[in-house]
Amino acid sequence: MATGTPFSPLMTPARPPFWRNVKVLRAVIQIIALLGVGVVVYVLFFNVTNNLRARGIRTDFEFLDQPFGVRIAGSDLSPGAPVRAALINGVKNTLALTVVGLPLLTILGVLVGVGRLSANWLVSKVSTVYVEILRNLPPLLLIVFAFQAVILRLPPARSPVTPFGWFVISNLETHVPGFRAGEGYATFISIVGLALAVGALVWWWRTRVQQEAGAPHHRWAWSLGLVAVVATIAYLVIGRPLTITLPVLTGRVVDGGFRGLGAFFAVMGALVLYTSSHVAEIVRGSIQAVPKGQTEAASALALSGFQRLRFVVLPQALRTALPPVINQYLNYVKNTSLAIVVGFAEVTLIAFQAIGNGQPAPQVIITLMAAYLVFSLVISLIINVLNRRLRMVTR
Amino acid sequence: MKLRLIAALAAVFLLAACTQAADTTTTVGTPTTADGGVTTTADTGGSTVPAGETTTTGATGDGLLAEVQARGSVRCGINEAVPGFGFLEADGTRSGFDIDFCRAVAAAIFGDPEAVEFVPLTAQQRFTALQAGEIDVLIRNTTYTASRDGGEGATFLSTTFYDGQGMMVRADSGFTVLEDLANTAICVLSGTTTELNLATRFVDIPYEPLTFEENDVLQEAFVAGQCDGWTSDKSQLAGVRSAFPEGPDALVILEETFSKEPLGPAVRDGDSQWAQIVDWVVNVTIIAEELGIESGNVDTFADTENLEIRRLLGLEIESDEGVAVFNAGLGLDPGWPADVITAVGNYGEIFNRNVGPDSPLGLERELNALWTEGGLIYAPPFR
């Protein structure tokens, strides 16, 4: 009876009705959940805008075009400049804190982290004390302390000191020698930029030469030498695109050089110390996570302690350390918002000033959050690229 | 089993969607009147207010007055760091010009000057707190300006203190006029009209503004010499100077007054009854000083012939029609001015107690004298 018929009823895959077909039900639940989330979000949004309108508060983003109304420390913006320009100024200041602070805290963190594992008793104890104290204090406290106990103790603004005639230092601001852009500055910078790009290519080329032919690469000398030569030639040919200036004090005005506000150093110093203590712990943990066999093998190859660290342990340790370190970088960026307490005009202070001078609070806060989000996403993007490159090296 | 779960979830979400469509006035937080249709100046940006939102205030019991009476205390937004106006003493009590007016409002509504809940606020938070309904009235040395009246959703009431902005410098700095402060740093609190006025006055003078959130850190910076000038309302500067650790003579307040700073209480837009009550609390203290009524002698006027006093204190007035007690129809029981005056005194007493010539601040009445004595303090009649 069943012979010759390959599709007997027992072998046919029967499709259950849609109301108990698992695949259909799963899709339906997803759709319902999505709708549910959408409804909740819509209700909340509707609620907020409704309440704002009921109280006569605006719900648009036109505040960005309104005049800011006040001057900002350390910038030339006039009070009539739009809020948008003021916020961008604030972002520049946060960027300054980030660009200066992140490399510093990385270097410090790695040094202290390695120091904790040092055989030298003094070095390891000092590192331990450093980490334990700084890690356990709130960053706000550290910032206020750095401001009040360190920066404010410098000479008052009305009578700064001028060591060596090269610096002008007071508790308000510090002036260091700098340069001023002259004619042809833009051309010069683009040539140097190009030289750096070519230098990176030269670096890669020399590394390949070493990998394939075995000759010493001397890649630092090649690439930096190229950049230096090109920069010097460009400098001489263009004329004087830069002039070195020393800060000169006349009365209350300082002419020349670069300037840093005291509050900037307080915030940066405190946060660098705080975040580096966390990074030190991460580095220490990741070094200890490298298998002991690696250090033993390195010793067997007669590598010195430093060479062992530099060529065997650290490259492997940094791979594990990178994700938590990205986290610390983001924490650093977010903690810069505490600078409002000491009056440093980074983006949070500007936003709060705008709110205090009549701009609608919800929209300003949303803009502020968007700014921090962009910041954090860019930083983690850059470092994740690095992370991926390191990962591809493992077996 | 799973099917029942799905059906339940679907029902919940459908319910949420339906209730949201019907109830267009879902409010979060305190159920205050959403009187969007009444305010005109506050409705900016061309947004239309949904028609179903206007509610009536007054006798229906929906207004802020009814809510405050039900709660049993007035929530007053104050400052706690300005000596003379709003200050937290070392023993935990609060004293100051604005604090006394908070107590006056409480005395008017409850007869008890202690029925107040003080909410300390920074300059940044004050209007957001008022808009959000966290406080009922803001009495925090706040300047009455057009944009605050309009854009900030606040209604300003009778000015209690006519002030101006000034600049304070060290006595040994040698500065005498504002132009001397070119190329220096000037400390200012952020989120205040002070900041804006400084920018306007110094538009041709180069300077560095240092904006701080709180007076404590600002004072540290000023003492350490980071900024050479401290700008604020002259009354605040007087308060700070009086409490200065190096003594008041180490500081000098420059002569020039570079703005008008009328300070007064503010309430949220939309509740006229509540606004009128707070307004008249201020006015009766002024009227009491005009009539010579003080906290100590309120009871002595039971037999006075003066009809103004009888109206103010809620005493019976005999006329041809019979005996009547004056009720202004503000929503409070007659005789509430007597409670206010007994609790905090008249305007002159409040002024002298907190900021007067014999207080640590040592301010003269000047602009804040009664209109009969050449000042600006003037109240409409209580009739």
B31 vs A149, which has greater pLDDT?
A: A149
Mind listing the pLDDT tens digit for each residue in B238-295? 888 888 888 888 999 998 888 889 999 999 988 999 999 999 999 999 999 999 999 9
Residue B302, domain member (yes or no): yes
Domain boundary among B188, B222, B257: B257
The confidence score (pLDDT) of residue B62 equals 67
Q: Are residues B24 and B154 in the same domain?
A: no
- CB of A59 less than 8 A from some CB of B: yes
β strands within chain A, DSSP E:
168-169, 173-176, 178-181, 242-245, 248-250, 253-255, 258-261
Phi-psi region of B117 (alpha: psi -120 to 50; beta: other; left: phi over 0): beta
Residues of B in contact with A353 (CB under 8 A): 190-191, 195, 211
B223/B131 Cα distance (integer angstroms): 36
Q: Are residues B354 and B300 in the same domain?
A: yes
Residue B383, domain member (yes or no): no
- SS3 (DSSP) at B267: strand
Residue A331, domain member (yes or no): yes
Cβ-based contacts under 8 A for chains A and B = 179
**Ranges B11-25, B232-246, B335-349, most confident:** B335-349
β strands within chain B, DSSP E:
74-78, 81-82, 86-88, 94-95, 116-120, 137-138, 154-156, 161-170, 185-189, 208-212, 229-233, 251-253, 260-263, 266-268, 316-319, 322-325
Residue found under tokens 């508790």: A171
Residue A193, domain member (yes or no): no
Q: Are residues B95 and B241 in the same domain?
A: no
Residues of B in contact with A339 (CB under 8 A): none
Residue A39, domain member (yes or no): no
Residue A40, domain member (yes or no): no
* Whether A55 and B43 lie within 8 Å, measured CB to CB: no
Q: Which amino acid is at B11?
A: A
Which of A39, A69, A341 lies closest to B217 in CB terms?
Answer: A341
Residue B56, domain member (yes or no): no
**Average pLDDT for chain A:** 88
User: Which residues are CB-neighbours of A165 under 8 A, at least 6 positions away?
Assistant: A246
The confidence score (pLDDT) of residue B140 equals 93
For residue A280, the domain's CATH number is 1.10.3720.10
Question: Quick one: which H or E segment has residue B7?
Answer: helix B2-22
- Residues 332-371 (B) with a CB less than 8 A from some CB of A: none
Average pLDDT over residues A311-323: 87
* Whether B225 and A171 lie within 8 Å, measured CB to CB: yes
For residue A338, report the phi and psi dihedrals to the nearest 5 degrees. Answer: -70, -10
- CB of B184 less than 8 A from some CB of A: yes
Residue B102, domain member (yes or no): yes
The confidence score (pLDDT) of residue B59 equals 42
Tokens of B189: 């609190």
The confidence score (pLDDT) of residue B24 equals 39
The confidence score (pLDDT) of residue A393 equals 57
Q: Are residues B69 and B178 in the same domain?
A: no
Provide the 8-state DSSP code for B50.
P
* Whether B6 and A28 lie within 8 Å, measured CB to CB: yes
Burial (CB count <10 Å: 0-12, 13-18, 19+), residue A244: exposed
**Average pLDDT for chain B:** 83
Are A357 and A69 contacting, i.e. CB atoms less than 8 angstroms apart? yes
Give the model's confidence band at B366: pLDDT under 50 very low, under 70 low, under 90 confident, else very high.
confident
Domain boundary among B257, B283, B309: B257
Q: Are residues B360 and B271 in the same domain?
A: yes
* Test mutation, A22, A47, A71, chain B, max B CBs within 10 A: A71
The confidence score (pLDDT) of residue A394 equals 55
Q: Which amino acid is at B292?
A: G
- CB of A76 less than 8 A from some CB of B: no
Total domains in chain B come to 3
Q: Are residues B112 and B140 in the same domain?
A: yes
Q: Are residues B122 and B270 in the same domain?
A: yes
Which of A70, A340, A345 lies closest to B195 in CB terms?
Answer: A70
pLDDT of residue B361 exceeding 80, the answer is yes
B234/B258 Cα distance (integer angstroms): 10
Total domains in chain A come to 1
Residue B382, domain member (yes or no): no
The confidence score (pLDDT) of residue B363 equals 87
For residue A245, report the phi and psi dihedrals to the nearest 5 degrees. Answer: -125, 140
pLDDT of residue A205 exceeding 50, the answer is yes
> In which domain, by residue range, is A279 found?
52-158+263-395
> In which domain, by residue range, is B330 found?
64-162+263-373
Q: Are residues B46 and B72 in the same domain?
A: no
Q: Are residues B153 and B218 in the same domain?
A: no
The confidence score (pLDDT) of residue B42 equals 36
In chain A, pLDDT over 90 holds for what percent of residues? 42
Residues of B in contact with A28 (CB under 8 A): 6
Q: Are residues B142 and B270 in the same domain?
A: yes
Q: Are residues B245 and B312 in the same domain?
A: no
Q: Are residues B363 and B238 in the same domain?
A: no
For residue B192, the domain's CATH number is 3.40.190.10
- Considering only CA atoms, which of B345, B249, B243 is closest in space to residue B289? B345
The confidence score (pLDDT) of residue B376 equals 93
A133 vs B247, which has greater pLDDT?
A: A133
Residue B59, domain member (yes or no): no
How far from A132 is each of A122, A135, A137, A276, CA to CA, in Å? 15, 5, 9, 12
Residue B378, domain member (yes or no): no
Mind listing the pLDDT tens digit for each residue in B16-65? 555 544 443 333 333 333 333 333 333 333 333 333 333 333 344 568 99
